[in-house]
Every structure is written in C-alpha cells, then in structure tokens.
Amino acid sequence: MTGLATTPSATTTAPQQRGPEPGPAARIAERIRAHAAGLPDVDAEKVIAQIEAGLWPGATETALRERAVEITSSSVASEPTYSKLAARLLAEHIAEETAGEGVTSFTTSIAASRDNGLLADDLVAFVEANAEALDAVVDDAADDRFEYFGLRTVYDRYLLRHPEHRTVLERPQYFMLRVACGLSQSVEEAAELYRLMSALAYLPSSPTLFNSGTRRAQLSSCFLLDSPKDELDSIYERYSQVARLSKYAGGIGIAWSRVRSRGSLIRGTNGHSNGIVPWLRTLDSSVAAVNQGGRRKGAACVYLATWHADIEEFLELRDNTGDVERRTHNLNLANWIPDEFMRRVEADAEWSLFDPKETPELVDLWGDEFDRAYRAAEAAGKARKTIPARELYGRMMRTLAQTGNGWMTFSDTANRTSNQTARKENVIHLSNLCTEILEVTNDSETAVCNLGSVNLAEHCTPEGFDFERLETTVRSAVKFLDRTIDLGFYPTAEAEKANRKWRPVGLGCMGLADVFFKLKLAFDSEEALALSTAIAERIALVAFETSTGLAEQLGAHPNFAETRAAEGVLHIDHYPNARITLTERWDAVRGRIAEHGLRNSLMIAIAPTATIASIAGCAECIEPVVSNVFKRETLSGEFLQVNRHLIAELKERGIWSEQVRQAIVVAEGSVQGIAEIPADLQERYRTAWELPQRALIDLAAARTPFIDQAQSLNLFQASPTIGKLSSMYRYAWQQGLKTTYYLRSRPATRINQTTVSAQPAAVAQPAELEVIPADIACSLENPESCEACQ
Amino acid sequence: MLLDPGMNLTLRPMKYPDFYDQYRAAIKNTWTVEEVDLASDLTDLAKFTPQEQHLIHRLVAFFATGDTIVANNLVLNLYQHVNSPEGRLYLSRQLFEEAVHVQFYLTLLDTYLPDPDERAKAFDAVNNIPSIKRKADFCFKWIDEVFDMQELKTGEDRRKFLLNLICFAACIEGLFFYGAFAYVYWLRSRGLLDGLATGTNWVFRDESCHMNFAFSVVDVVRQEEPELFDEQMRQQVTDMLEEAVEAELQFAEDLIGEGMPGMTVKDMKSYLEYAADQRLVRLGMPKKWGSENPFPFMALQDVQELTNFFERRPTAYQVAVEGKVDLDEEF
C-alpha cells in the first residue's frame, strides 16, 4: 500500500446516526481495516475490539478515530508497525480537518491561509503565479514516510492554523511546500527543497519551519547577545532585546560577565551592588513571560566567565533548595572557561575571582593575552577572593550532576579556532542556548544563526553510506540556509546588522546512531569513528565548496576580509592531526576561496535537533540512543518510542517475543544481561548510559576539525560522582572540544511500572532481600550505588 | 524481629541494609513544589466542559485529603511498630515526601479553585462528597483497627498491623492513588493540564517507592514470621482489595458519569482490577480478576522520559552527589 489515498468526502463526519447507516464505530472499524492492509504484524481486529470496549455515549467518528490513534500509537512497544497505522489514521484526520476549511490542494491551502492573514504577500503572489506547477509538485503519498510521532509533531505544532477555529489549514505536504516556496525564487528551487524535506533527508530548523512564507518570517534559531554593559540602562535594554528575540521562537544565549559583582561600590548612590543574581532573576521572569506564539516556551542560557566573583552564587541558581529569591528555574546556565582555569585545576593551584568593574579588560581577551592580563590583575591585588581551583571545579561538577546545567564551554579553544576572530577586536564571548554556535558579539552586534540538519539515516542503506547523495543534499542545504539570511525578518537591529556582515549558517546532522545501527557498527568501534569522521569531513568540504561557489556568484560576505579564511587559514588548519581523506579537494577549495572568498563566515554547527529528529523519525544529531524503549514528553503529550532497528534484528533472528519485550521494558530499555539476546546485539544496542563516555568524546574530538562552529554534545552518567565528572570534563577539554552540553543523569528512584507483570518477592534472608525489578536496572548500571548488591 | 516491640537504635551492624538503600535513593529525588509550573493549566481549565470541570474538581478534592490521611497513618501507626532504625529513617523521609505532596495539592487547589468557599468545600471533601467519604471511611476503618495498640505483642496484633500496612500500600497508595493518577495521565494524553502531570510524575515516583518500601517490610515479616501469612490473612487481603476496588469504582462513577472520550467506567474498572491483581501478585498471591490494562497512556509511564527542554523541564536529576575532584577516574 502506498500513501493514504483518502478522499476527504469519504471520511467527512456524517450527522449522528441517520437511519440504517452504519454507526460511527462501524465506520471507524472499516477505516482501520483499510489502513492496516499491507502492514505486517498489525492486528486490526484487536484495535477495533479495544475501541468497542471503550465506547461512550455520543462518541463521534472523529473522537473514535482519535481513540484509535491513541490505542495504536501506544502499541508500538509491542510492535513498531503500529506506528504506521497510527500515522495513517492521523493523516486521515488531518485531511478531514483541512477539508472542513475548504482545503483540498496546495493552492487552496495557501488561499485559506492568505484569507486568514497568515501569509506574506510575496509568497502568495509567487504561489498564485505558479499555481498549477506547484500543485503538481505535491506528493501526498509522501505522508506515508512519517512515523506516528513525526506526523503528530507536525500536526500539533507546525501546520498553520485558523486564527479562531484553531483547525489546521494545511496538510503535512502542503506545509513543506509552503516552507520551500518561502525560501525559493523559482518553481524548480521550491521543488528541489520540497523533495529533500518530503523525503525527510534534510530539514530546516524549527523557526524556519514555523515561519517561512508567513507575515513574520523570523527564520533564525539562535541569538547570542553580548553581556550588558555594567550600567542600568544597558541591562534593561538587554531584557527588551531578549524579549523581542524570544517572541519569534529564537533560543537565546546571553553573557553576563561585564556586570559588577556583589559588594562592588555603586558610585552614584554610594551603596553596594547585590551582584548579578537579582538581575538574572528578572531575566528569568521575563523569559518565562514570553511564550513563543503558544508553540513553545521561551528559553535562554546565561554565560558567565569563570573568573567572575559571583560565579559561586551563579552555580546555585538552578538548585531546588535554598532561598527562592536567589533561584532561576527557567534559565539555563553555562560556564565560559579559560584554559588558565583548567591548567590550575590540573596543577591543583589557586584561582582568583574578580569584579569586572575592577578588571573590565578581561572580558574581551582570550589566549595568551588573557593569561597575561589575568596574572597581572592577580599581581595587582585586585582579586576579590582566591580559592583553590579544584574547589570551584568541584562545585561546577556538583551543579552539573544536580541540575544537568552549568554547561562547560571553553573560551580559548573557541576563539583560537574560529574563522571570525582574526582581528583582535572580534571576540567570541559566549555560545548559544544549545552550545553549538560560536560567533563574535559586541554591544551593538547580536550574533544570529540559521540552522538546518541533514538526516544521515536517510543517506544510508544496509549496503553502505551514500556519500554522493550526501553531497547533493549538502549543496542544496547550504544554498537555502544562505538564502534565509536575506529573507529572514530580524526582531532587532543588532541581530540584522551582525547577520548581514558575517552571514554565518549552521548545517548539522541527525540520525548518526541510525547509521551505525543500519551498518551494524558498535558506537564505540574504530569503524564507527572512521565513518563518523568521514561524514563530518564530507559535509564540511561540500559546505565550503558551496559557499565559495555562492561567493563567486553573489559576492563574499561583507566581513570576509576580517576572517582567518582571508588570510588563507581554514578551520581544518588548526588541527594538524585531523583525519583528512580528501586532500585534493581541500586544496582545490582553498584555491577557490583565495580567489572568491566565502559567502558565509561559518557553516557547520551540530544542533541538538530534538524536534526535527522527531519529525524525521531518526535519532537526535550525533547522539547514541538513551534507551531502546522510551517516552518523549512534549507540550502536546507523551509518546512512546522504540528502537525499530533492534526489534527488526530481533525479529530477523526469531527472538522477539512478549517475554523479551517485557524484559527490555523492565530494564528501562536496556538489553544488557537479557539471556535471550545474543552478545553481539547486546554490544551494539548499548544505551548512552552503558557506553563509555570516553568514546563519545573521542568521536566528537575526531569530528571537531570539520565543525567550524561547535556541537551540542550531551554526556551521560547514570549516577554521577564528582570524581567521574571531573575526570570526564578534563578529558573533553584536553581533547580540544569547544563546548559540551547537558550532563544527563537518571532519577535515583522511579515510578512502578504499570504494564509489566508484578513479580512476587522471593523470600530471602533479611540482610540480602531479593531485589525487585526496579533495583535490577540500577544495580546493573551502577554497582556502586546499591549497597545491597555488593 | 522487625515487629518486636521496642526502640532499636543500632545502625551498625545494619540488619536491614535494603531499607537504608531505599532511604538514600529517596533522598536523591528531592523535589519542591516551586519547581512545578502550573501557569498553563489555567488556560486549559478555562476551556473545560462542565463534565471535565466536575472531574477535575473531584479529583483535586481527593488529592487534597488523601496524602494527609497517609501521613497521619504513617506517624500514628507505622512508625512506632517498625522497630528498625534504618526502617524508621525511611519512614521519616517518607513523611517529608507526604508533606511535600500535601503542599503540592494545596497549591494546586489554591490555583485551580479561586473561590474561597469552593476551596473550603474541597478540603472538607471527606464530609460532603459521598464518593470521597466512602474512600476515607475505608481508610479510617483500617486506621482504627490498630490505633489503640501500643505494642504488637501477639500474633493477632501483628496480623492487624500487617493488614494496616498492606491496606495503605496496596489499597490506598497502590489503588486509590493509582486510579487518580490514571485520570491525570488521561488528561495529559489529550494535551491537558501539563503542570498537574509534571507534579504527578514526581508524586507518582514517590508513591511507587512508598509502596515498594511497605512491601519490603511485608517480605521481611513473612521471612521472620511465616506463620502470620495463613489462609485467613490471604482471605482478609483479598477481601480488602475487593472492597477498595469497589470504593474506587463508585468514585469513578461519580467522576466519569457516562464516559468521556477515552475514559469510561468500564475501562476504569478493568484498570483497577488489573492494578489490584498486580498488588496480589506482589504479595505472593494468585491474581483474582485477570483483567487487562485498557489504558494505553499508562503504558507510557513505564519507560524512561526524554524531554526536550524547550518543552518541559526535565525531571530526572539526582540531588545528592558524592565524591571529590579527581582527574584520573574512569568514566
């Protein structure tokens, strides 16, 4: 069965119970049978029986269909194919809903959105001028590529809705073509981007998906604001910028290192400052107040330099104990760490904290110059406080373990390897909300980045990875990312100014774990590392080729002369040990850059892709899977996800059974130690909690030469200790990572499982009570945390 | 033995290290009411149908008093008879958690019910809402059974104590609360009351642990005094669960009425019987009902959560963390 082939008229809800017509339950049963056709291992009758058992008075066909979607979508843990059935039912629901608004084709969808004032005039004109050709581009059958969670995400969050009825005005394929048209100058271009998206091979980031072609086409994902100056007006000006940027779905990174610390003298009033915490409380409230068009909550991350005298209070901002007046539950926190600090941690030396009012020069320095200025300030006795470096480092680790926050980002590595920092006045002061963007900021320039990600899983068959196809995708992706810079609406002048000068983009990837599963590679194997690095190299190379090609056509970005590339230094040149396999092509592109420059100062950034990976149905960015069965919680509900690769392999070997399924759920998605599952599968399907974190860092480090911005690298410790974390982050710094992202840990206790059978406790000696299932998982993963199991 | 009267103060050597581990695990999961964001719930509540309004009002009224009853029983009946210092450590911790739950539901009620009269009525639910009164009466009956006992001297005393313990674990936390959570997750599955669901996740996690602890006390007593677990006891437990299922079912009839999309009394009955069977099995007894869990949204609660922080605040972090800086550990 290909596609849905649902005609709206067949499914439009009839008025309740007219004469002898079949009732809504019978009609929905018929639809379920039709949709289940061709889906192996799906039992339509079982679903129908469940619906009939739960009938309530006045149940309409639409409500019953929703129930069917719910039942089928939660059956995926037993049989992943139910996801397809759920997706087909949901697609039918969407078709019905849009038909109710008179939408039956791409052009009628555009007309409906236009009539409701949602679309930009030039988009409408473009579509009207090319109506027939564009309608012919749409492939409705492509909806069948969605897994349920992907389609559900699109439906709940991305499709344009009627301002009053709140019904959707586009089907998923119309939405994708609308996004593509918003970034295109011809039907050919629109078709090119639409086909990539529709194949789920490449997706622009959420702001572009939300806003392309609309009246307020804010297409950028990330904004990086320099620290406010150490004065009242500047601080309030920043709040206002943050609010405006947040309103249009951007994620915010903001530094706070220029603002004076607690106890600093305020000349105007002869009082003393309360430090940065009260300001950040206000920022916290402001961020919470701005809800991004009802689609998601605003989010921001504050960066503080490790030498700032309020660093200790800063690290407590997310604690759930202590004075609520000194807590910020909506802000994320990140440490902006100079190498000097890490060296002093290694040497177990002292570390000095400064009030930026006394040492304003430190904020704009990095590398040797920072080291000199820092030591000079120490020698001049300007330190407000001196503490053992390891004491502070230990507190950073504690914050990571307790809150997942307090991300470790390394200021010297970031500046040393950036294309933007050739001139002394161009300094990177922070990363962004997800630690993958590193761009220069100053008081009048807010850095911006437009993101998109290649779905690597879509470029891979069991036979191997398709580098040719990857190249084609990357060429298109870079072209359209560059396009967003000119078409986007900028909520602030500071953002527009910076973006037009530097024209940075952030092309990333997702589905790396799927590639490894498809090719049967263990995440921490040498083959995986080689492939992952080769993919990163290819993406970077083609991005550079494309960007210099665009420069040849359209001109280099205005600030090109200020970049390292203008001096002949490319990002890979900072890494003498980079695994370069395409030497000739790099040489060639170097020549072209010397001649034409680059259209974009930065090109590669690996974003977390949480939402677009859901749409594409692949693993997030470069991450291993956290579990083989897990639920996703989003604003629109909770959804069950299973590792389809694992279940397919288990089925292939005839091992998949209800018993094995329950064993995996009881172990919270782990396959370790399940007797029925062979060793090679246990090896390859280790979860993020079970993989050595060293391997994740090594993969990231090998990839770094090809990432001219940064990567959102989560690290995982099921039960973190200060010792493990301090070794792990030191290693990450040593290996040259520019940034790290969340430290993920697990709850120490958990909910009792309701859907796996309870076990009677075996009778045992009091001192060695049999562990109940909940404890088995924990003892396997962290033997040291369970006294009873030692 | 665990139920011998007295005030054992000896933590080393530790006789029941499993109790101590449960205590430590609980400490790591400290949460506070301030972390729950109820703002979006108000938007949802404004859109509720009268039928849904009725359900949610009844539900919060139950929550408001349910945990208070549990906390009272803990202090008045359980703490004094579980004669193990590590066991009492756990119970002290549980008491704190019950207090947090009470505070959470208080905040919830204050937020959901702006009218002071309605609030007062909700807190007095045990007296003025029959379906809640019946559940409360069930609880009080089992509290009264042991209320006057100072020491567990005879086998009969211990049997009564065990029934109280099992009642609170299997019937109140393990059935009344499990039933109530199902309504919350049902609403959540329809994208409603995200704040309530977030707090409920944490309460659910705590309640699961409380129940596990109580069952592990039962396991120890069964090991130490197997003669207590005779046919009479099994019959009493079964009868008690039956009575609890019935009490919860009449509550369901009050809440759901003729049914709402995805939530009918028939399905709720099957879910409660399924949960009650689970409790029986955990106590080493055969299933009585053999019903299946009809609620797909409950299956979701069994697996690891993965939250996109744009969406909701991830809740999986541990609070206590140990060790000191060391640059040469394996990771």
Which residue ranges make up each domain of chain A? Answer: 8-189, 227-431, 620-724+736-746+765-789
Tell me the CATH number at B142. 1.10.620.20
From CA B283, how far away is CA A346, in angstroms rounded?
Answer: 54
Distance from the B267 Cα atom to the nearest Cα atom in chain A, whole angstroms = 6
pLDDT given at position B210: 94
Residues 6+ away with beta carbon under 8 Å from A290 = A243, A246, A247, A298
Chain-chain contact of B313 with A398 (C-beta, under 8 angstroms)? no
Average pLDDT over residues A354-362: 97
From CA B318, how far away is CA B24, in angstroms rounded?
Answer: 11
- CA closest to A773 among chain B residues: B212
- Cβ of residue A162 closer than 8 Å to a chain B Cβ: no
Average pLDDT over residues B295-319: 58
**Residue B159 vs residues A749, B87, B155, B172, B237: alpha-carbon distances, Å:** 30, 19, 6, 18, 11
Q: Give SS3 for A172.
A: helix
Can you name the residues that pair with A454 across neighbouring β-strands?
A: A202, A509
Please enumerate, by residue number, every residue of B annotated as part of a binding site for Fe cation. 67, 98, 101, 173, 207, 210
pLDDT given at position A748: 64
Residues of B in contact with A71 (CB under 8 A): 296
- Chain-centroid distance of CA A672 in Å reads 28
Q: Which residue in the set A404, A719, A723 is minimally distant from B326, CB to CB?
A: A723
Average per-residue pLDDT for chain A: 90
Average pLDDT over residues A130-151: 96
Average pLDDT over residues A684-693: 96
Residue A141 confidence (pLDDT) above 50: yes
Q: Give the burial class of A174: count Cβ atoms within 10 A of its Cβ; 0-12 exposed, 13-18 middle, 19 or more buried.
A: buried
B126-142 pLDDT, tens digit each:
999 999 999 999 999 99
Asked if residue B169 belongs to a domain, the reply is yes
pLDDT given at position A250: 77
Asked if residue B104 belongs to a domain, the reply is yes
Angle at A492 between CA A486 and CA A493, to 5 degrees: 70
- Chain-centroid distance of CA A373 in Å reads 37
- Cβ of residue B210 closer than 8 Å to a chain A Cβ: no
Chain-chain contact of A723 with B267 (C-beta, under 8 angstroms)? no
- Total domain count, chain B: 1
A702-758 pLDDT, tens digit each:
999 999 999 999 999 988 999 999 999 999 999 999 999 999 987 766 666 666 666
Instruction: Tell me the fold of A227-431.
Output: Anaerobic Ribonucleotide-triphosphate Reductase Large Chain (3.20.70)
Q: Which domain holds residue B246?
A: 36-302
From CA B304, how far away is CA B312, in angstroms rounded?
Answer: 15
Asked if residue B229 belongs to a domain, the reply is yes
Chain-chain contact of A748 with B188 (C-beta, under 8 angstroms)? no
Asked if residue B200 belongs to a domain, the reply is yes
- ipTM score over 0.95, yes or no: no
Residues of A in contact with B31 (CB under 8 A): 320
Residue B82 confidence (pLDDT) above 80: yes
pLDDT given at position B317: 54
For the ranges A51-60, A227-236, A353-362, A560-569, which has the lowest average pLDDT? A51-60
Average pLDDT over residues A115-142: 97
Say if CB A181 and CB A208 are below 8 A apart: no
pLDDT given at position A784: 26
Q: pLDDT-derived band of residue B37, with 50, 70 and 90 as boundaries?
A: confident
Residue A688 confidence (pLDDT) above 60: yes
Q: Which residues 29-48 of B have a C-beta within 8 angstroms of A?
A: 29-32, 34-35, 37, 39
Asked if residue B224 belongs to a domain, the reply is yes
- Cβ of residue B119 closer than 8 Å to a chain A Cβ: no
Maximum CA extent, chain B: 64
pLDDT given at position B27: 87
- CA closest to A697 among chain B residues: B331
Residue A201 tokens, joined: 């091979």
Residue A15 confidence (pLDDT) above 60: no
Asked if residue B116 belongs to a domain, the reply is yes
A298-347 pLDDT, tens digit each:
789 999 999 999 999 999 998 876 777 788 888 999 999 999 999 999 99
- Cβ of residue B282 closer than 8 Å to a chain A Cβ: yes
Residue A425 confidence (pLDDT) above 60: yes
Indicate the pTM of the whole model.
0.83
In chain B, DSSP assigns E strands to 304-307
Chain-chain contact of A747 with B32 (C-beta, under 8 angstroms)? no
Q: Is the dihedral of CA A708, A712, A718, A722 positive or negative?
A: positive
pLDDT given at position B1: 92
Phi/psi at A711 (nearest 5 deg)? Answer: -135, 145
Say if CB A749 and CB B25 are below 8 A apart: yes
> Which of B196, B215, B308, B313 to mutate against chain A (most A CBs within 10 Å)?
B308
pLDDT given at position A124: 97
Average pLDDT over residues A360-375: 98
Amino acid at A612: I
Average pLDDT over residues A113-142: 97
Residue A787 confidence (pLDDT) above 60: no
- Cβ of residue B178 closer than 8 Å to a chain A Cβ: yes
> Which of B302, B312, B315, B319 to mutate against chain A (most A CBs within 10 Å)?
B302
Residue B310 confidence (pLDDT) above 90: no
Residue A704 tokens, joined: 């770094």
**For tokens 């849904």, what's the residue?**
B52
- Cβ of residue A753 closer than 8 Å to a chain B Cβ: yes
Q: Between these two residues, B35 and A511, which has the higher pLDDT value?
A: A511
pLDDT given at position A773: 28
SS (H, E, C) A520-584: CCCCCCHHHHHHHHHHHHHHHHHHHHHHHHHHHHHCCCCCHHHCCHHHCCCHHHHCCCCCCCCHH
- Cβ of residue A788 closer than 8 Å to a chain B Cβ: yes
From CA A339, how far away is CA A370, in angstroms rounded?
Answer: 10
Q: Which residues 309-368 of A have a C-beta within 8 angstroms of B?
A: 320-321, 324, 327, 329, 332, 345-346
Residue A13 confidence (pLDDT) above 50: no
A252-299 pLDDT, tens digit each:
999 999 999 999 998 888 899 999 999 999 999 888 888 655 555 678
Q: pLDDT-derived band of residue A783, with 50, 70 and 90 as boundaries?
A: very low
B232-245 pLDDT, tens digit each:
999 999 999 999 99
Residues of A in contact with B18 (CB under 8 A): 769, 788
A199-237 pLDDT, tens digit each:
999 999 988 998 999 998 889 989 999 999 999 999 999
pLDDT given at position A352: 98
pLDDT given at position A443: 95
Closest CA to B257 of B247, B268, B246: B268
